Amino acid sequence: MWAVVPTKGFDAPKQRLANVLSPDERSSLAEHMLRDVLAALVDLDGVLVVSNDEKALNMARWQGVRVLRERQPGGYSAAVRQAGEVLAGEGVAAMMHVPGDVPLITPAEVARIANLQAASPAACVVPSRDHDGTNCLALWPPDLFQPAFGPDSFNRHCQIARDNGVEPTILELDGFALDIDTPDDLRLFCTGEANCGSLRYLQASGIAARLMQE
């Protein structure tokens, strides 16, 4: 099982956080979150970071992670599909998509997905906490179908799997459930006690305390 991690990079990302974080703060948070995600994936067969951002690609290389430059024009779904096609072409049996903004994921949760022992073709869909988004999409084989991320992607991916003759496995995983997209997501994250670099950054920088006062 390989992990595919698409990222827009660190150049003023997370526009929905612009009302509570400066561009530099958003950039630093994005980098810390990506580091946390990559740290949770170390026990897999491999990790592939997909991006057009040179800083993100270089950081991944320094972490010993394989990188893939995103094709243009692209988009999130296209980046995951591109990686799936590359891995399938190399004979990789399965991949899981993991976003770069789920810093609470754990190696145990990752292993639970990877160890499903799914007979190909198969799919596993892990929803966001509101059951709107897809915070992990695992496919056996990696190019089983074209991903379709965005609003209501959880239900959409489940239906696409069924349209391809596959009943998806649905896993509710606490670490994967919280992706940091909005100020409310960020405040919820700051109330936790996770031992991860992203939370330590928010606490040490004073951002967490500031957010709790707003």
Superfamily of domain 2-179: Spore Coat Polysaccharide Biosynthesis Protein SpsA; Chain A (3.90.550.10)
Query: What amino acid occupies position 26?
Result: R
* Residue-range domain boundaries for the chain: 2-179
C-alpha to C-alpha distances, 144 to 77, 78, 98, 137, 204, nearest whole angstrom = 14, 14, 17, 11, 43
List all residues 6 or more positions away from 119 whose beta carbon is below 8 Å from its beta carbon: 140
The burial of 97, by beta-carbon neighbours within 10 Å (0-12 exposed, 13-18 middle, 19 or more buried), is given as buried
pLDDT in tens, the chain (214 residues): 999 999 998 987 888 999 999 999 999 999 999 999 999 999 999 999 999 999 999 999 999 999 999 987 678 999 999 999 999 999 999 999 999 999 999 999 999 999 997 788 999 999 999 999 999 999 999 999 999 999 999 999 999 999 999 999 999 999 999 999 999 999 999 998 888 999 999 999 999 999 988 7
